[in-house]
């Protein structure tokens, strides 16, 4: 799917969380992580692609010695609904045995992605394992799990921006917005008619 400018603009319904609100919460999250580890080294594990923007800001808000690592998990979506299939498409480069690992997620929706990632990483026996998520949609949970820290709880909206996408677009928005997929499609349909 390639969006034209009109479709792209129409897809952004309204801003839910602005850059200043994100900045404030990230400072708090950095302090939270510093407090957990008290100067011992950590490994921040970003779950791609959605958390790359969050990771970039979060890693600069912690002061403990910090490595970063990347994993990619693909949740299959039918439009804005999870199809319940998760696959790990890229694994971490680092060994994590005896590491203090912090998983950095963009959003916990049904919980399936994080559940699979946790299972995989727990089996590798890290010294500790925590989860920090930018966003949480608790009302959508299918697998019961909670992050150690969630920066924003939101209602059941499909959101875009600050790393999160609709059809791979909008990841570069500096804010978090509600997406309007119907408008993207209807403007696309008019154009194609």
Contacting residues toward ligand IMP, per CB under 6 A: 50, 75, 82, 86, 105-114, 158-159, 164-165
- Residue 111 engages Mg ion in binding (rule: CB under 5 A): no
94 binds, among Mg ion, ligand IMP, none (CB under 5 to 8 A by kind): none
8 Å CB contact between 175 and 19: yes
- Residue 126 engages Mg ion in binding (rule: CB under 5 A): no
What Å distances lie between residue 40 and 58, 105, 149, CA to CA? 17, 22, 19
Give the range of 63-71, 88-96, 104-112, 135-143 binding Mg ion by CB under 5 A: 104-112
DSSP classification of residue 27: H
- If the CB atoms of residues 180 and 193 are measured against ligand IMP, the closer one turns out to be 180
Question: What distance in Å separates the CA atoms of residue 133 and residue 69, rounded to the nearest whole number?
Answer: 16
Q: Catalytic residue at 4?
A: no
- If the CB atoms of residues 40 and 139 are measured against Mg ion, the closer one turns out to be 139
- Residue 106 engages Mg ion in binding (rule: CB under 5 A): yes
**Both tokens assigned to 63:** 């002061």
**Both tokens assigned to 25:** 């919460």
- Other beta carbons within 10 angstroms of residue 164's beta carbon come to 23
Hey, which residues are catalytic here?
109
């Amino acid at each position: 799917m390639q969006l034209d400018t009109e479709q792209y603009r129409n897809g952004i319904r309204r801003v839910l969380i602005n850059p200043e609100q994100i900045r404030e919460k990230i400072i708090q999250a950095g302090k939270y992580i510093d407090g957990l580890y008290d100067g011992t080294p950590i490994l921040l594990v970003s779950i791609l692609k959605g958390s790359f923007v969050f990771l970039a800001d979060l890693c600069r808000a912690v002061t403990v010695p910090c490595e970063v690592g990347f994993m990619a998990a693909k949740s299959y979506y039918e439009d804005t609904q999870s199809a319940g299939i998760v696959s790990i498409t890229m694994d971490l480069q680092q060994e994590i045995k005896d590491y203090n690992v912090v998983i950095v997620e963009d959003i916990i929706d049904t919980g399936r992605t994080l559940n699979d990632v946790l299972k995989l990483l727990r089996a590798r026996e890290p010294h500790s394992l925590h989860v920090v998520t930018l966003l949480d949609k608790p009302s959508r949970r299918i697998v019961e799990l909670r992050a150690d820290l969630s920066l924003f709880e939101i209602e059941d909206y499909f959101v875009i921006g600050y790393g999160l996408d609709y059809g791979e677009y909008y990841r570069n928005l500096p804010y978090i917005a509600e997406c309007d997929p119907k408008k993207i499609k209807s403007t696309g349909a008019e154009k194609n008619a």
